[in-house]
Structure 1
Amino acid sequence: MKRIAIFASGSGSNAEKICDYFLGRTDVEVSLILTNNPEAGVIKRSRRLHIPVVVFDRKTFYESERILQLLQNDGIDFIVLAGFMMLIPQFLVDGYPDKIVNIHPALLPKHGGKGMYGHFVHEAVVTAKDTQSGITIHFVNERYDEGNIIFQATCEVLPTDSPEDVATKVQVLEHVHYPRVVDETILKAGIE
């Protein structure tokens, strides 16, 4: 059984879609959800799904290896970032080489990097008058949004679209593609 940990900072809609996707599987399961936000909606979702949740603070995440030890002790094989807003520390990247993936709500390398998340990304897309946006699923390294790209999907951006319109279109792509791409990436990683 391959064990996934999901890191999320917000409502957890992508986390829930991933959990639903793997529900009932005998080869892969979401075993743990971690968040840095004690008010995050993902906490309620994880309880409803009966998945243990761990809440941690910034100091614990960056100044100790307690999260890495927790993941290793829990037998976590693969990490999925689903709306997680913190940069992953080097020791965690090193502990899970090519086994941490993230989803970004734009077509990287455009509109990526520090501070480019959520509505900031969609506002940038509209301001740039882009005719397309979409999602990028990528491996995580020690820099924001610079890991190797695994998958991209696009949606049309109309001249009349607001950032909220773009967000709605992008979220549809996230929910359709992220769980499947996570599954395929785990298989390709050859995790025993």
Structure 2
Amino acid sequence: MFQVAVLISGKGSTLEAILKDQKRDSLYEVSLVLADRPCEGLRYAEMEGIRTRVLPRDQDLSRKILEEVSAFDLVVLAGFLSILEGPVLTEMSSRIINLHPSLLPKFGGKGMYGMRVHEKVLESKLPISGCTVHYVSEVVDGGSILLQRIVGIKECHTSDDVMKKVSAVEKGALIDAIRLLAKEERIYESVTECL
């Protein structure tokens, strides 16, 4: 089974969507939820019988995360607010994904999160926005792009309007990325067994 760890910092609405999808056809299994602060999402994970842990936000956070997730096939940042750095990024290369609320490489990088992103998109006068699922690397929002979802924003007059349009496609994009990687792993395992 394709093992997934999810890192959260808040309500856990994305985690909830992932767990609902997981029950559909068991392509993957979320068996660990880590948080960088006590949060509502942990309670939801515990109600679902998933192991949880809060790791303190200090200089050892990335090392502690690596200790917890090194055996996992995939780590999903689902509203995780801390920045990962150091060995967790090199040792888990191509096994950590994140969702960013714009069409990277535009409107990404340090300090570009939440409403700041949507404000910049609106200021740009572009007719589209969307979200990007990307691999996490040493460069904030700089990892390889896995997939993107595009939405039209011509009718949007406020950054809140843009946020609502983008939010409508974010969870589906992240779930599609997880499913894509889990299926790819199954194909790889099947080919390896045949050899």
Q: TM-score of the superposition, structure 1-length normalised?
A: 0.88
**Paired residue for 1:168?**
164
Q: Give the drift of 1:94.
A: 1.7
**Paired residue for 1:66?**
64
Q: Which runs of 5+ in 1 are unaligned?
A: none
**Paired residue for 2:179?**
183
SS of 2:160's equivalent? helix
Q: Which runs of 5+ in 2 are unaligned?
A: 190-195
Say if 1:129 and 1:159, in contact at 8 Å, map to a contact too.
no
1:148 aligned residue (125, 144, 161): 144
**Paired residue for 1:5?**
5
Larger gyration radius, structure 1 or structure 2: 2
Deviates more, 1:53-62 or 1:40-49: 40-49
Say if 2:55 and 2:64, in contact at 8 Å, map to a contact too.
no
Q: Tell me the distance in 2 between the aligned counterparts of 1:189 and 1:120.
A: 36
Matched, 1:92 2:88: yes
Matched, 1:46 2:45: yes
**Paired residue for 2:73?**
77
Q: Tell me the distance in 1 between the aligned counterparts of 2:40 and 2:102.
A: 23
SS of 2:134's equivalent? strand
AA of the residue aligned to 1:21:
D
Q: Give the drift of 1:26.
A: 4.2
Aligned residues: 187
Q: Give the drift of 1:14.
A: 1.5
Q: Which runs of 4+ in 1 moved over 3 A?
A: 24-27, 189-192
Q: Give the drift of 1:130.
A: 2.2
Q: Tell me the distance in 1 between the aligned counterparts of 2:81 and 2:141.
A: 11
Q: CA RMSD in A?
A: 1.9
Paired-residue identity, %: 33
Q: Give the drift of 1:44.
A: 2.7
Q: TM-score of the superposition, structure 2-length normalised?
A: 0.87
Change (3 A) 1:107 1:79: same
Deviates more, 1:162-171 or 1:136-145: 162-171
